[in-house]
Amino acid sequence: MAEVLVVFDPPMSDKEGRTYVARICGRETSDRLWEGWIEFTPQAGGATLRTPRETQQPNRADLEYWAGGLTLTYLEGALVRARRPETPDLRPRTVDAHPTYDEPAPS
């Protein structure tokens, strides 16, 4: 079951002047890791926005530690991601691919 781990105060504003209450949410996954995302509730009413998974941690305490280190700049970027869910996920991931060469090109 998901839970709210941190609520940021004061509310933050976007470039259009809308204000949001940001909160870090998390849950334990089926593989016993904890995933975290950010929700933004508009103070003027409307649907709460959320990001895709922002982090995955080995336990709840580590997720809380991660949440406690977030900056306003990070939250601003997360709000952009939440408002535009079509933004590609550029986080590193394992792929099933092999390089063509065994070394870089000569200088």
- Answer yes or no: is 98 within a domain: no
Residue 44 within a domain: yes
Q: Is residue 11 part of a domain?
A: yes
Mean pLDDT (the chain, rounded): 89
Domain that holds residue 68: 3-83
- pTM for this entry: 0.77
Residues with Cβ < 8 Å from 93, sequence gap 6 or more?
none
Question: How many alpha carbons lie under 13 Å from residue 46 in its C-beta half-sphere?
Answer: 13
Number of domains in the chain: 1
Residue 48: inside a domain, yes or no?
A: yes
User: Does the residue 104 lie in any domain?
Assistant: no
- Check residue 64 and give its pLDDT: 96
Q: Which of 15, 5, 17 is nearest to 61 (CA)?
A: 5
Question: Is 91 inside a domain boundary?
Answer: no
Whether the bond into 58 is cis, omega within 30 of 0: no
Q: Residue 45 domain-assigned? A: yes
pLDDT at residue 98, rounded to an integer = 77
Q: pLDDT value at position 73?
A: 94
Per-residue pLDDT at 104: 72
CA torsion angle 10 52 96 106 (round to 10): -40
